[in-house]
């Protein structure tokens, strides 16, 4: 299976652009490049029925986030308060940084 390129990273601020949680702004908790999915905080919350175990003696119904496709999220720039695509820029010391295409803020 080929690894898909994902345009967001862990701890990025993103906005959901399609689906039932459209318009929510949140933080990326995890990125799964093999499947092309991301885990976003408080987005795509599902109920999980858990049996009692040694860690969870009572069991019961828990709520947790499910992974969504990375194409459903877009990077959110906190400076210009808008979703944006990213551009790459190489600094003088040779490091490569991601830059907002609208306001030139580095991520």
Instruction: Say if 98 falls within a structural domain.
Output: no
Give the range of the structural domain holding residue 23, as residue numbers without chain letter.
13-50+60-81
What is the SS3 assignment for 105? coil
Give how many domains the chain has, as a whole number: 1
CA distance 38 to 6: 9
Instruction: Say if 17 falls within a structural domain.
Output: yes
What pLDDT score does 1 carry?
Answer: 66
Instruction: Say if 103 falls within a structural domain.
Output: no
What pLDDT score does 98 carry?
Answer: 94
Instruction: Say if 72 falls within a structural domain.
Output: yes
Q: What is the CATH number of the domain that holds 73?
A: 2.30.30.30
Instruction: Say if 18 falls within a structural domain.
Output: yes
CA distance 30 to 58: 28
Long-range contact set of residues 96-104: C-beta below 8 Å, sequence gap at least 24: 100/75, 102/77, 103/77, 103/79
Distance of CA 20 to the CA centre of its chain: 16
pLDDT tens string for the chain (107 positions)?
A: 678 889 999 999 999 999 999 999 999 999 999 999 999 999 999 999 999 999 889 999 999 999 999 999 999 999 999 999 999 999 999 999 999 999 988 98
What pLDDT score does 5 carry?
Answer: 87
Q: What is the DSSP string of 16-50?
A: E-SSTTTT-EEEEEEEETTTTEEEETTSSEEEEEE
Instruction: Say if 99 falls within a structural domain.
Output: no
CA distance 27 to 40: 6
């Amino acid at each position: 299976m080929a690894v898909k390129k994902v345009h967001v990273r862990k701890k990025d601020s993103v906005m959901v652009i399609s689906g039932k949680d459209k318009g929510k702004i949140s933080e990326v908790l995890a990125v799964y490049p093999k499947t092309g999915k991301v885990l976003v905080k408080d987005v795509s919350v599902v109920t999980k029925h858990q049996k009692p175990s040694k860690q969870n003696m009572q069991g019961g119904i828990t709520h947790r986030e499910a992974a969504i496709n990375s194409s459903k999220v877009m990077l959110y720039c906190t400076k210009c308060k808008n979703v944006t695509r990213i551009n790459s820029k190489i600094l003088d010391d040779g490091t490569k940084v991601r830059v907002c295409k609208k306001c030139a803020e580095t991520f």
